[in-house]
Amino acid sequence: MDSTAAQDKCHSDSSGHPGYSGLVTVWNEHESQFVLSYFSEITQHAWMGLTYKYDLETGSLEYTWNDNMYLIYSYWGQSQPSKPETETGCVEFLETGAWTMSKSCTTALPFICKIEMAYDPNTNQDLGEAKCDPGWSLVSSDKGEEDNR
């Protein structure tokens, strides 16, 4: 699938989920290592949820994650990021898990989806069995309210 179709597929596969669902975003080294663990199954480039805008006049380059997080971590491949040839574009994973600027967002590539929980503890939203991660338990706080720790 091309990048847009892959993003749409990720989103539709998690229909009704309250958080972000889309192409994978990588915010830090831990997430990078987690995503890299999937690369033994991928034998070619793959889509990620990072796009760019390039100003041809000023040469400024701005990256945006599909979940609107800032780019604070990167794992660029050798000689990357390269100077873009177009004003907008996509970023893809290399076979090694490193990142590269894509020549076209319309190329059919495999992709990795990410689903993130969107939870605001102040809403008293019932998360059912997902209230605590394994190894954590529900305790009472000093205020007599429940806390997830």
Q: What is the pLDDT of residues 23-81, one digit of tens each?
A: 999 988 888 888 888 777 667 889 999 999 999 899 999 999 998 888 999 999 999 99
Looking only at Cα atoms, what is the longest distance across the chain?
A: 59
| Residue 58 CA, distance from chain mean position | 28
CA distance 26 to 34: 9
Which pairing describes strands 21-23 and 113-115: parallel, antiparallel, or unpaired? antiparallel
The answer to whether residues 38 and 47 touch, using CB atoms and an 8 Å cutoff, is no
d(CA 98, CA 78): 8
Which CATH superfamily is 3-120 part of?
Mannose-Binding Protein A, subunit A (3.10.100.10)
Question: In this predicted structure, which of 31-35, 82-86, 97-101, 126-130 has the lowest mean pLDDT?
Answer: 126-130
For the chain, strand residue ranges (E) read 21-23, 46-54, 61-65, 88-93, 99-101, 113-115, 138-140, 146-148
Query: What proportions of the chain, in percent to the nearest 5, are helix, strand and coil?
Result: 15, 25, 60
| pLDDT of amino acid 20 | 77
| Mean pLDDT of the residues in the chain | 81
pLDDT at 129: 47
What are the domain boundaries of the chain?
Answer: 3-120
Average pLDDT over residues 9-15: 82
Q: For residues 39 and 53, what is the distance between their CA atoms, to the nearest angstrom?
A: 27
Structure tokens at 128: 């059912």
Predicted pLDDT of residue 124: 54
Instruction: Specify the higher pLDDT residue, 20 or 132.
Output: 20
Average pLDDT of 118-128? 52
Structure confidence at residue 122 (pLDDT): 52
Whole-model pTM: value is: 0.74
